[in-house]
């Protein structure tokens, strides 16, 4: 199958188009959506297997040779991220069957989710900088619709801010593509990398590198550019929030990883120092937010920001070990953030509030929910048998080996704050005195929990079976430390 790398984009695309014909037939929408997403998961797992055995897969669209046409590139990093994305979308879809409500389902919720999957998978797979912009827009446009769908006052208000921020960052993206094109004269990522290496990164390319950091930082919520995220992510309903929290910022993070390891690795003293400091400040800001709030959604939203900082610090160190840690932590964080948002969504569905002070005693009537949540919190904080541990271990070892003691120490310290912030939810919401709740009934809550528990199991298996996934992660991070592998696979010199 030479078109295998684009199957995870094509399947949801066709599913979305078909789904638009069944606007009012909700049963049909659910079936087609679930089958298509399961197909995407299957295709992406096959893709990971093929990339593992045969190396980086490329598709030259329209058979135009590499620098002239659009090339889709599946290296191990993008294949793993596509797989994670598809799996998360599948379980979020199952969750939304019972929680999103008829009003939203009748107005094209499922097609828009498929379009979001198209945008995210496409952004992970593309090998062309302008095509990346287009897939960003596909993803953002779907996220605008998902954010505002339902039309409550808080959603309208926050959508305005979210759209405005993203229009500005998209315009900046176009400007940066223009500058890069004027200096390099190419849009293909591998070709750009070759030509930057020939010029040995003059001053103007360092400026472009920093501006790319601004563009992707606005999408991925790094330190001075994270201001839109807490408000915007508070507005949408739980399944949408889980999709946003797990996928959208990670696309920005992936783009920073890609550009800073493939394009701008010559003058690391300047650009990567900026990245390191921004990552450190991002962790600090996230920690402050995570321990400040008594609202379960807010706590988890600030935990997204902490994770972005941790991953990017590993990228800024640029040693093979820290890059491996970043890749491992990135995938861990996508899975566990989706699981935590969905679990918290079950708690909100039962109690009818997201205020921690009004919750309590869920363990008495819902023990399965309470214990799953405890495992998820321990996984997030990085307690040894679970998946957060190995990523952070590699990150900390990598940064200590590179003598970045401040960042490495801060990553260790941030785990403590992460643990405190989520255990606060556990102690106040799950333990404590039981209260009267008038939210959703036990049967419904059990279904919602049932679609989440697979993600928690996956996260635990990802930690316990680290030895099994280690070859994949190593393969992904090798291509990051040595851009030559990527370039050779695309340009076939």
Q: Which residues bind another protein (CB under 8 A)?
A: 130, 133-134, 137, 141, 144-145, 148, 151, 153-154, 156-160, 163-164, 167-168, 170-172, 174-175, 177-179, 181-182, 187, 230-232, 234-235
Nearer to another protein, 69 or 484 (CB): 69
Burial of 367 (0-12, 13-18, 19+ CB in 10 A): exposed
Alpha-carbon torsion 234, 240, 242, 247, what sign?
negative
In the block, residue with structure tokens 């953030």: 337
Shorter beta-carbon distance to another protein: residue 353 or 474: 353
Q: Kindly state the tokens that stand for 127.
A: 């090998």
Instruction: State the nearest-atom distance from the C-beta of 190 to another protein, in Å.
Output: 17
Closest separation in Å from C-beta 310 to another protein = 25
* 157 token code pair: 């208000």
Shortest distance, position 420 Cβ to another protein, whole Å: 21
* CB of 123 vs another protein, minimal distance in Å: 14
Phi and psi, residue 249, nearest 5°: -65, -30
Distance in Å, CB of 172 to another protein, minimum: 8
Quote the Cα angle for 30-32-37, to 5°.
Answer: 95
Residue position matching structure tokens 């930082």? 217
Q: Which positions ≥6 away from 427 have C-beta within 8 Å?
A: none
160/468 with CB nearer another protein? 160
Of 232 and 322, which has the nearer Cβ to another protein?
Answer: 232
Q: Using the minimum distance from each CB to another protein, give the nearer residue, 299 or 317.
A: 299
Coil, strand, or helix at residue 73? strand
CB of 158 to another protein, least distance (A): 5
Give Cα separations from 214 to 105, 118, 271 (angstroms).
36, 24, 12
- Calculate the CA dihedral of residues 290, 227, 250, 328 and round it to 10 degrees: -40
Q: Would you say 61 or 167 has its CB closer to another protein?
A: 167
Shortest Cβ distance from residue 298 to another protein (Å)? 9
Q: Which two tokens stand for residue 429?
A: 């919401």
For another protein, the closer of residues 1 and 160 by Cβ is 160
Cβ proximity of 82 and 44 under 8 Å: yes
Rounded Cα–Cα distance for residues 71 and 202 (Å): 27
């Amino acid at each position: 199958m030479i078109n295998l790398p684009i199957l995870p984009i094509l399947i949801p695309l066709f599913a979305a188009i078909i789904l638009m014909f069944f606007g009012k037939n909700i049963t049909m929408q659910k079936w087609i959506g679930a089958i298509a997403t399961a197909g995407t998961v299957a295709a992406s797992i096959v893709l990971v297997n093929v990339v593992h055995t045969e190396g980086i897969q490329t598709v030259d669209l329209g058979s135009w040779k590499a620098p002239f046409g659009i090339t889709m590139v599946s290296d191990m990093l993008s294949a793993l991220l596509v797989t994670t994305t598809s799996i998360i979308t599948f379980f979020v879809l199952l969750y939304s069957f019972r929680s999103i409500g008829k009003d939203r389902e009748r107005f094209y919720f499922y097609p828009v989710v498929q379009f979001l999957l198209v945008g995210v998978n496409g952004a992970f797979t593309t090998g062309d900088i302008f095509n990346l912009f287009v897939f960003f827009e596909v993803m953002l446009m779907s996220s605008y619709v998902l954010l505002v769908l339902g039309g409550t006052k808080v959603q309208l208000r926050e959508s305005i801010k979210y759209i405005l921020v993203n229009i500005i960052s998209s315009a900046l993206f176009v400007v940066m593509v223009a500058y890069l094109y004027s200096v390099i004269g190419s849009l293909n990522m591998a070709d750009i990398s070759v030509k930057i290496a020939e010029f040995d990164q003059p001053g103007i390319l360092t400026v472009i590198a920093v501006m790319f950091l601004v563009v992707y930082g606005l999408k991925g919520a790094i330190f001075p550019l994270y201001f839109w995220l807490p408000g915007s992510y508070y507005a949408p309903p739980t399944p949408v929030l889980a999709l946003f929290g797990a996928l959208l910022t990670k696309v920005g993070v992936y783009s920073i990883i890609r550009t800073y390891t493939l394009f701008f690795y010559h003058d690391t003293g300047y650009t990567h120092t900026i990245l390191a400091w921004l990552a450190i400040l991002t962790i600090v800001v996230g920690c402050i937010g995570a321990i400040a709030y008594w609202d379960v959604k807010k706590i988890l939203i600030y935990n997204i920001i902490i994770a972005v900082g941790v991953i990017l610090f590993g990228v800024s160190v640029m040693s093979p070990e820290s890059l491996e840690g970043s890749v491992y932590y990135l995938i861990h964080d996508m899975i566990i953030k989706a699981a935590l948002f969905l679990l918290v969504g079950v708690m909100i569905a039962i109690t009818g509030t997201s205020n921690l002070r009004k919750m309590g005693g869920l363990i008495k009537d819902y023990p399965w929910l309470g214990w799953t949540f405890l495992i998820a919190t321990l996984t997030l904080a990085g307690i040894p048998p679970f998946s957060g541990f190995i990523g952070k271990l590699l990150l900390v070892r990598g940064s200590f080996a590179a003598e970045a003691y401040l960042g490495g120490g801060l990553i260790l310290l941030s785990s403590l704050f992460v643990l405190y912030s989520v255990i606060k939810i556990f102690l106040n919401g799950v333990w404590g005195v039981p209260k009267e709740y008038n939210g959703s009934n036990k049967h419904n809550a059990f279904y919602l929990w049932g679609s989440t528990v697979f993600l928690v199991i996956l996260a635990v298996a990802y930690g316990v079976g680290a030895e099994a996934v280690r070859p994949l992660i190593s393969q992904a991070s090798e291509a990051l430390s040595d851009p030559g592998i990527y370039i050779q696979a695309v340009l076939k010199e």
